[in-house]
Amino acid sequence: MDFLARIWRHEESRAVVIQILVILAVFGSFGWLISNLVTNFAALNKNFGFDFLSQPAGYDINQTLVEYTNRSSHLRAAFVGLLNTFLVAVFGIILATIMGVILGIIRLSNNWLARNVTYWYIEFTRNVPILLHILLWHGIIINTLPRPKNAYNFGDISFLTNRGFYVPEPIAETGIAAVYLAVVAAIVFAVFFKRHAKKLQAETGRQLPVFGVNLAVLIAVPALAFVVSGSPVSFEYPVLKGFNFKGGMHLLPEFVALTFALAIYTAAFIAENVRAGILAIHKGQREAAEALGLRPGRVMSLVILPQARRVIIPPLTSQYLNLTKNSSLAIAIGYMDLVATLGGITLNQTGREIETMLLVMGMYLIISLSISMAMNWYNSSVKLVDR
């Protein structure tokens, strides 16, 4: 007893004791939860397992980036859903970043109107729940666009309806390899030319027209290869057959509404990050750049933004993660993402709520950690280097 009291009075050993107790409590409660789960599964005659993943899913999915039929397995359905989540996340992030950066810059503009319009846009957008944005955009699309019979017709090859935007689908034929090769070659050339131009400018101060030359090469070389190899691409055009357009490619209104809603919502937050990043740069930097005779656009792109990136990127990562996780609201409008397939129909058909939810959570965790890792890597590549 005396010994215990001595340990407790001693500050350092007391700290160790408290830490041990906390760890025991944490593990104890986890253990209790898990054993409870196991007991109750047994009491309910349910068994825990992932065998159901290999059984046929039995349902159809309206947007499949990989081969899928209703005879495919639940695992395959989950994969289709995962890819659909990815698709929304990638397009949403790209769109949100572009919009966010532009809005963030305009928000600091000297133009009173532009500044205030942006201000109100940001305040309105980020203070309305994301689910309402999604429902609003979906409602607008399906209620204002015409039905397939009265589709907006773009030269008989593309059609806009409330079932989606239909465009011709390019189909590769023999000889397409030459075009692919030309594209790769053009990209390689562009990268090297840009490096060469940078080096030349650093050494001699001479500037080459990098943008113009690269653009010309990127367009002309593949186009030339295309013509020389005898136009190895044919198109499948969408045609109205019965209820819907058949053939071609089409963008689902659910995909468009979801991506757009996520992008404009997240862009409002990103704009504020960008504004904070720009304001964090000492105004002497801008004045010095202007004193060198740089035009305002170049001041921003060459001096301010590269430095502001260090402030912008950490919170930007959070916004990317938010956007990805918010995409799980897709089911509200019927976009078949991971939550709608594995966490929705599969869950309901198999009744495995614990297993499917663990899988869904695991997959979101993997996506989020990947985004985090990529952004941390980018962050460390732009942070100040101590010399």
Partner 1 sequence: MKKILIAMAGLAGVVAATSANAGTLEDVRDRGHLNCVVNTGLTGFASPDDAGNWTGFDVEFCRAVAAAVLGDASKVEFVTATGKTRFTKLAAGEGEILSRNTTWTFSRDVDLAQTFIGVNYYDGQAFMVPAALGVSSASELDGASVCIQTGTTTELNLAEYFSSNGMSYEPVPIETNAEARESYLAGRCDVYTTDGSGLAATRATFDAPDAHVILPEIVSKEPLGPVVREGDDNWADIVSWTLKAMMAGEELGITSANAAQLGAQVNDNPEINRLLGVDPLQGAEQAGLSSDWALNILSQVGNYAESFERNLTPLGLSRGMNALARDGGLHYIPPIK
Reduced to 3 states (helix: H, G, I; strand: E, B; else coil), residue 230 is coil
Binders in 136-165 for partner 1, by CB under 8 A: 139, 142-143, 147, 162-163
Q: 68 or 269, CB closer to partner 1?
A: 68
Say if residues 271 and 117 touch (Cβ distance below 8 Å).
no
Q: Nearest distance from residue 235's CB to partner 1, in Å? A: 21
Among 17, 59, 276, 286, binds partner 1 (CB under 8 A): 59
The residue range among 43-51, 110-118, 218-226, 290-298 that interacts with partner 1, by the rule CB under 8 A, is: 43-51
Q: Nearest distance from residue 87's CB to partner 1, in Å? A: 17
| Residue 306: C-alpha distances to residues 6, 208, 299, 381 (Å) | 58, 22, 10, 12
Say if residues 84 and 252 touch (Cβ distance below 8 Å).
no
Q: 70 or 370, CB closer to partner 1?
A: 70
The residue range among 35-43, 85-93, 121-129, 313-321 that interacts with partner 1, by the rule CB under 8 A, is: 35-43
The beta strand positions in the chain, using DSSP E, are: 152-154, 158-161, 164-167, 169-172, 233-236, 239-241, 244-246, 249-251
Binders in 69-98 for partner 1, by CB under 8 A: 70
Q: Nearest distance from residue 254's CB to partner 1, in Å? A: 8
Chain centroid to Cα 121, Å, comes to: 22
Q: Which phi-psi region, left, alpha or beta, contains residue 248 (left: φ > 0; alpha: ψ -120 to 50)?
A: left
> Which amino acid type is present at position 135?
L
Q: Nearest distance from residue 348's CB to partner 1, in Å? A: 5
Residue 357 as a binder of partner 1 (CB under 8 A): the answer is yes
CA angle 174, 178, 179 (to 5 degrees): 95
CA angle 346, 352, 355 (to 5 degrees): 100
Q: Nearest distance from residue 349's CB to partner 1, in Å? A: 7
Among 88, 316, 360, 367, binds partner 1 (CB under 8 A): 360
- How far apart CA 141 and CA 261 sit, in angstroms, is 12
- How far apart CA 265 and CA 263 sit, in angstroms, is 5
Q: Nearest distance from residue 46's CB to partner 1, in Å? A: 5
Q: Nearest distance from residue 47's CB to partner 1, in Å? A: 9
Backbone angles phi, psi at 209, to 5 degrees: -75, 70
Among 19, 39, 109, 231, binds partner 1 (CB under 8 A): 39
- How far apart CA 372 and CA 376 sit, in angstroms, is 6
Residue 36 as a binder of partner 1 (CB under 8 A): the answer is yes
- How far apart CA 88 and CA 305 sit, in angstroms, is 27
Binders in 323-342 for partner 1, by CB under 8 A: 325-326, 328-329, 331-334, 336, 339-340
Say if residues 172 and 233 touch (Cβ distance below 8 Å).
yes
Residue 60 as a binder of partner 1 (CB under 8 A): the answer is yes
- How far apart CA 33 and CA 74 sit, in angstroms, is 28
Q: Nearest distance from residue 36's CB to partner 1, in Å? A: 5
Q: Where does this chain bind partner 1 (CB under 8 A)? A: 33, 36-37, 39-41, 43-46, 58-62, 70, 135, 139, 142-143, 147, 162-163, 241-244, 246, 253-254, 325-326, 328-329, 331-334, 336, 339-340, 343-345, 347-351, 353-354, 357, 360-361
